[in-house]
Structure 1
Amino acid sequence: MADEEGGKSKKLIMIGGLVIGIAIILALAVGGTLYFLDRDSSEESEGSAIPGLEGSDIQLGTASYYSFEEAFVTPLISSDRRQRFMQLSLAVKGDNPQVTQAIETHMPRIKNDLNRLFTGQDYQTLQTPEGKMQLQISAAEVVQKVVEREGVQIDQVLITNFVLQ
């Protein structure tokens, strides 16, 4: 009976040692992974500058977006004499936060000018990719014309939702 108790205690000690050993190996693996991941991210942040542009004023990752809360819904001109509508959601991309402030300041004027632009569109033209691209460019010109009073420049107007009916 004493041999059985001695054998059980040896097995428990071996199992306990094995569990502790596995826990140590896992802790070292996690620690090593975190060390190398942190080291890679610090190297990327140091090397994020574009070669040859060390003295320029370009800053990466400074884009600012403004999304219009409500979609524009306007009637369209159609050659088939049916009543057609367009629903359009927009976002404006700029290179600094002043773009958002300028858009909010002049929001009524921007909405008015965009509604006037959208109402005069042709249904058949908007069904083509070229028509959609031209609409996007025209919308960017309208917004830029209004916000340039504040001395800011937009990059582009993005169409985030587009539905024709």
Structure 2
Amino acid sequence: MEDLNEQKQSNKKTIIIIAVVVLLSIAAAVGGTLYFFGGVPGLSGDSKVQANVSSGPQIIPSNSIYYSMEPAFVINFNAGRKQRFMQVYVAVKAQTESAVSQVERHAPVIRNNLNQLFAKQDFESIQTPEGREEMRQAATQAVQDVLAKHGNGETIDQVLFTNLVMQ
């Protein structure tokens, strides 16, 4: 009978020891995870690194307003004996609502001038990044010219090509 009581006590001790070891293992895993990932303030040893991260470059929100000129411009080219096409989605970037409203107000004139500008381009030159950048700058200048002539002195920052497809 004593053997049976000793065996029961031994089993209880074994179960208690196993439970304590499991709980300690879980606590160590959670504590280690929090320590390495900085989950508990003050526990991480890299306070200098955290200070440098917080004093890094700050993101300054932009006040820019964008106006998308819909529908896209579609231009056809005669490149040698083949008929080629270009489709350009254009957006205008400005700093004020009044500049965007002027672009909307004079959209027919702006669309006309941009269509003429795009049609005058050489198909071979606009296949290069430099040629596309020159065309974008010329488009910006064309919109600014319309606003200078017909607008109330407002100006835009730039014309953006949000999608340009050539075939």
TM-score by length of 2: 0.67
Instruction: Give the corresponding residue for 2:123.
Output: 123
Which letter does structure 2 place at the counterpart of 1:134?
E
Which letter does structure 2 place at the counterpart of 1:31?
V
Instruction: Give the corresponding residue for 2:22.
Output: 15
Q: Report the RMSD for the aligned CA atoms in angstroms.
A: 3.4
Q: How far did 1:143 drift?
A: 1.1
Q: How far did 1:157 drift?
A: 1.8
> Unmatched 5+ residue regions in structure 2?
1-6
Which letter does structure 1 place at the counterpart of 2:26?
V
Identity of aligned residues (%): 31
Instruction: Give the corresponding residue for 2:106.
Output: 106
CA distance in 2, matches of 1:129, 1:20: 58
Instruction: Give the corresponding residue for 1:87.
Output: 87
CA distance in 2, matches of 1:40, 1:99: 40
CA distance in 2, matches of 1:131, 1:13: 72
Q: How far did 1:30 drift?
A: 1.4
TM-score by length of 1: 0.67
Q: Does 1:5 align with 2:7?
A: no
Q: How far did 1:66 drift?
A: 2.9
Instruction: Give the corresponding residue for 2:135.
Output: 135
Structure 1 residues 102 and 41: alpha-carbon distance in aligned structure 2, compared to 1, 3 A threshold: farther
Structure 1 residues 40 and 95: alpha-carbon distance in aligned structure 2, compared to 1, 3 A threshold: farther
Q: Kindly indicate whether the alpha-carbon contact (under 8 Å) linking 1:67 and 1:90 is maintained by their aligned counterparts in 2.
A: yes
- What count of residue pairs does the alignment treat as equivalent? 152
CA distance in 2, matches of 1:70, 1:135: 19
- Counterpart of 2:39 in 1: which secondary structure? helix
> Unmatched 5+ residue regions in structure 1?
50-58
Moved more, 106-115 or 122-131: 122-131
1:151 to 150, 153, 159: 153
Q: Kindly indicate whether the alpha-carbon contact (under 8 Å) linking 1:77 and 1:120 is maintained by their aligned counterparts in 2.
A: no
Which letter does structure 1 place at the counterpart of 2:115?
N
- Counterpart of 2:16 in 1: which secondary structure? helix
CA distance in 1, matches of 2:68, 2:166: 20
